[in-house]
């Protein structure tokens, strides 16, 4: 996905959240703030974007958004329970109605047979709970990160539209 498509998603998200008078937060690991940067690249984003947590390390996941280290130990950082806890932590640690969390393996190193490079867990925190999904993206590190950011924003947009 190119930058113009990503900006299109952000513009749609901005219009929808502003209309609803609601706020969002991001909790990012493998994207390292790319989703937040996309959101704040447009003027007026403070009307709907509250904050972004970059939780790249396991310690950051625990200290910034309250992910229980036992969950990380039991399942690994790139897992459904950790993504779920990250999104929930975004809702609990920011005055927002919506959160999006991503944790994955952007590569080119770090993959395994169970979790190959390109594996990303997504979680969307909504007013009614947390929804999760796993995807495996191809390409190099930049491609995986860009695809992750786009999918995270698209998923959030769809959930807000359906609310």
Domains in the chain and their CATH numbers? 3-162 (3.90.950.20)
Q: Where are the alpha helices (DSSP H) in the chain?
A: 3-20, 34-39, 58-65, 69-75, 80-92, 141-162
Is residue 142 very low, low, confident or very high in pLDDT (cuts 50, 70, 90)? very high
Residues above pLDDT 70, as percent of the chain: 98
Angle formed at CA 27 by CA 24 and CA 28, multiple of 5 degrees: 130
Is residue 5 very low, low, confident or very high in pLDDT (cuts 50, 70, 90)? confident
Give the residue from 10, 163, 35 showing the smallest Cα distance to 97: 163
What mean pLDDT comes out for the span 25-45?
97
> What is the C-alpha separation between 39 and 11, in angstroms, rounded?
8
What's the whole-number average pLDDT of the chain? 96
Torsions phi, psi for 126 (to 5 deg): -125, 170
pLDDT in tens, 97-132: 999 999 999 999 999 999 999 999 999 999 999 999
What's the pTM? Answer: 0.96
């Amino acid at each position: 996905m190119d930058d113009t498509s990503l900006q299109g998603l952000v513009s749609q998200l901005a219009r929808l959240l502003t209309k609803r008078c609601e706020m969002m937060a991001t909790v990012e690991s493998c994207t390292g703030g790319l989703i937040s940067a996309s959101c704040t690249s447009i003027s007026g984003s403070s009307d709907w974007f509250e904050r972004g947590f970059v939780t790249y390390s396991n310690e950051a996941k625990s200290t910034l958004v309250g992910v229980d280290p036992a969950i990380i130990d039991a399942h690994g950082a790139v897992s459904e329970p950790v993504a779920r806890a990250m999104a929930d932590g975004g809702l609990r640690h920011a005055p927002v109605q919506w959160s999006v969390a991503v944790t994955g393996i952007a590569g080119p190193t770090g993959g395994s047979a169970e979790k190959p490079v390109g594996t990303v867990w997504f979680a969307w925190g909504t007013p009614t709970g947390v929804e999760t999904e796993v995807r495996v993206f191809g390409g190099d590190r930049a491609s995986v990160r860009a695809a992750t950011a786009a999918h995270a924003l698209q998923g959030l947009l769809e959930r807000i539209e359906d609310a």
